[in-house]
């Protein structure tokens, strides 16, 4: 993959280009950085709502006729929203790419931003929120985010709340859409296609404006505990803590947490919680290292009467992990799996492109994925255990528990 600077309106817009003719397909993305949910914390759920409205076709054609035009040429055109990013994606056969691109342009010029469409999407989202209120796994996970990120934009679910959705009108929708500024855009073009395509008409659908700064949101270290009582037969337990890792040591954290809680039946947590004590069918721990936050978190489900014991065991295992580190056998097994799974990650064009896209987004040079593999390969036990022991912030665990007692 190579980065090309597109000259447009006195800007250099990054175009990430990869020629790949292993299949006669094209993958095309417009990605706006710092433009997802983080861009508007006054109305939680706004970014998600706008994405859903943009998936409703144009105001002239409506959703059904627009969808029929896409289906006619087997073009997949979707709008996506995350916490940090907002974007548009086309996947199609190379012969139909221009057709799909023209449909995207028509969508951007005439989005279906009508009161009728807004009312429809708000009704659907409210129904989803209502459904989530009976999803106890979702409730526990959402409550953990509130504990870890209170009074920040990460406190709220990306779908929003019933109150925030009610407050969103067409003005808020249009303001969000019009704030997708070219200064925050990068483009991905991959597949069986030449790099020199004309994108001026597409880019003309967006305005110049401010370059958004992505805030870094601190994960709480206050060791909060929340119990929510519901009519449930099982306790749903989510836990999380800060994980303040330097960029050049993230690979060590990934190896460490693979051993501790991400390797299925071979993990420390699974061995202690399920195999030895029979407290749960499954338990895991993960790490999230984004540009806006950094944390370790995990989940388990257990009997109502076992929830307190489970929490104490989790705390104990974290403490043992930081104090004692890992063994040479655990490190060897982790290396074998992580290095051996590379083939699957790079098996398809889409997998390879996603790796390169992530490298660029995280501010790394292309090839960082392969360099990281070499670092993992060379990682020795002493260095890994020194790293583990240096990060006792992960002991500052907060717990969210939804249970029946």
Q: Is the pLDDT of residue 343 over 80?
A: no
Same domain for 177 and 239, yes or no, is: no
Q: Which helix (H) or strand (E) holds 191?
A: strand 185-191
Q: For residues 176 and 309, state if they share a domain.
A: no
Residues 275 and 188 in one domain: no
Report pLDDT digits (tens) over 158-205: 999 999 999 999 999 999 999 999 999 999 999 999 999 999 999 999
Using 50, 70 and 90 to split pLDDT, how confident is the model at 56? very high
- Which pLDDT tens digit goes with each residue over 265-310? 788 998 889 888 888 888 999 999 999 999 999 999 999 999 999 9
Question: In 3-state terms, what secondary structure has residue 358?
Answer: helix
Tokens of 308: 């307190």
pLDDT band at 82 (very low <50, low <70, confident <90, very high): very high
**Same domain assignment for residues 242 and 351:** yes
pLDDT (tens digit per residue) in 29-42: 999 999 999 988 78
Q: What is the pLDDT of residue 253?
A: 97
For residue 286, what pLDDT is reported? 96
How far apart CA 26 and CA 97 sit, in angstroms, is 7
Please determine, for residue 246, whether its predicted confidence score (pLDDT) is greater than 80: yes
Supply the pLDDT for residue 279.
Answer: 86
- Label residue 115 exposed, middle or buried (CB < 10 Å: 0-12, 13-18, 19+): exposed
Identify the pLDDT of residue 236. 96
Q: Dihedrals φ, ψ of 374, to 5°?
A: -65, -35
Mean pLDDT of the chain: 95
For residue 244, give both structure tokens: 């303040």
Whether residue 252 sits in one domain with residue 155: no
Residue ranges of alpha helices (H) inside 299-345 are 307-324, 328-340, 342-345
Q: How far apart are CA 209 and CA 185, in angstroms?
A: 11
Q: Please check whether residue 219 lies inside any domain of the structure.
A: no
Judge if 231 and 200 occupy the same domain.
no
- Structure-block tokens of residue 387: 């790293």
Residues spanned by the domain of 379? 225-403
218, part of any domain: no
Long-range CB pairs of 198-205, under 8 A, 24+ apart, other chains included: 199/6, 199/8, 200/8, 201/105, 202/30, 202/101, 202/104, 202/105, 202/108, 203/6, 203/8, 203/9, 203/13, 205/105, 205/108, 205/109
Q: In CATH, what number is assigned to the domain containing residue 276?
A: 3.30.830.10
21 within some domain = yes
- What's the total number of domains in the chain? 2
pLDDT of residue 344: 78
DSSP secondary structure letters along 54-70: HTT-BTTTHHHHHHHHH
- Report, as an integer, the average pLDDT of 313-341: 95
Q: pLDDT (tens digit, 9 = 90+) per residue, 64-78?
A: 999 999 999 999 999
Considering the domain architecture, whether residues 282 and 161 belong to the same structural domain is answered as no
Write down the residue that tokens 């993958």 correspond to: 27
236 and 168 in a single domain? The answer is: no
Q: Which pLDDT score is estimated for 208?
A: 95
Look at residue 220 and give its three-state secondary structure. coil
Predicted confidence at residue 274, as pLDDT, reads 87
Which 3 state secondary structure label does DSSP give 314? helix
Domain assignment present for 92: yes
In this predicted structure, the answer to whether residue 336 has a pLDDT above a threshold of 90 is: yes
DSSP 8-state secondary structure symbol assigned to residue 278: -
Same domain, residue pair 199 and 233: no
Please check whether residues 82 and 18 belong to one and the same domain: yes
Residues 178 and 243 in one domain: no
Using CB atoms within 10 A of its CB, is residue 44 exposed (0-12), middle (13-18) or buried (19+)?
buried
Residue 316 lies in a domain: yes
In what side-by-side order are the strands of the sheet with 185-191? 2-8, 11-19, 185-191, 25-33, 85-93, 76-81
Name the residue among 86, 79, 95, 77 with its Cα closest to residue 24: 95
Last residue of a domain, one of 173, 205, 237: 205
Structure tokens at 280: 């749960």
Q: Three-state SS for 37?
A: helix
Residue 220 lies in a domain: no
Distance between CA atoms of residues 140 and 133, nearest Å: 10
Domain annotation covers residue 354: yes
Shared domain check, 51 and 194: yes
Indicate the Cα dihedral angle 197, 201, 205, 208, nearest 10°: 80
215 belongs to a structural domain: no
Structure confidence at residue 278 (pLDDT) = 85
């Amino acid at each position: 993959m190579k980065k090309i600077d597109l000259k447009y309106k006195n800007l250099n817009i990054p175009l990430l280009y990869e020629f790949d003719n292993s299949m006669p397909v094209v993958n095309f993305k417009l990605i706006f950085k710092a433009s997802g949910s983080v861009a508007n914390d006054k109305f939680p759920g706004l970014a998600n709502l706008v994405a859903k409205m943009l998936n409703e076709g144009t105001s002239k054609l409506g959703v059904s006729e627009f969808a029929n035009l896409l289906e006619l040429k087997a073009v997949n055109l979707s709008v996506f929203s995350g916490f940090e990013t907002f974007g548009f994606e086309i996947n199609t056969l190379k012969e139909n790419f221009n057709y799909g691109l023209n449909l995207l342009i028509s969508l951007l010029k005439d989005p279906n931003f009508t009161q009728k469409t807004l009312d429809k999407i708000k009704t659907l989202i409210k129904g989803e929120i209502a459904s989530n209120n009976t999803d106890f796994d979702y409730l526990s996970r959402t409550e953990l985010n509130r504990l870890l990120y209170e009074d920040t934009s990460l406190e709220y679910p990306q779908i929003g709340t019933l109150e925030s959705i009610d407050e969103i009108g067409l003005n808020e929708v249009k303001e969000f859409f019009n704030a997708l500024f070219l200064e925050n855009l990068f483009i991905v073009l991959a597949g069986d296609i030449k790099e020199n395509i004309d994108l001026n008409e597409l880019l003309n659908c967006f305005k110049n404006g401010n370059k958004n700064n992505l805030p870094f949101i601190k994960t709480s270290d206050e060791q909060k505990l929340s119990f929510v009582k519901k009519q449930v037969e099982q306790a749903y337990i989510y836990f999380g803590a800060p994980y303040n890792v330097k960029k050049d040591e993230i690979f060590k954290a990934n190896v460490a947490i693979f051993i501790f809680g991400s390797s299925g039946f071979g993990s420390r947590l699974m061995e202690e919680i399920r195999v030895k004590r029979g407290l749960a069918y499954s338990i895991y721990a993960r790490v999230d290292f984004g540009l806006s936050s950094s944390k370790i978190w995990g989940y388990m489900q257990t009997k109502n009467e076992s929830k307190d014991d489970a929490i104490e065991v989790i705390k104990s295992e974290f403490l043992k992990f930081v104090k004692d580190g890992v063994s040479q056998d655990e490190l060897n097994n982790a290396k074998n799996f992580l290095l051996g799974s590379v083939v699957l990650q790079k098996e398809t064009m889409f997998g390879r492109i996603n790796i390169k896209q992530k490298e660029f987004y995280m501010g790394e040079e292309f090839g960082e994925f392969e360099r990281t593999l070499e670092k993992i390969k060379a990682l020795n036990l002493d260095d890994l255990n020194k790293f583990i022991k240096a990060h006792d912030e992960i002991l500052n665990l907060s717990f969210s528990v939804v249970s029946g007692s």
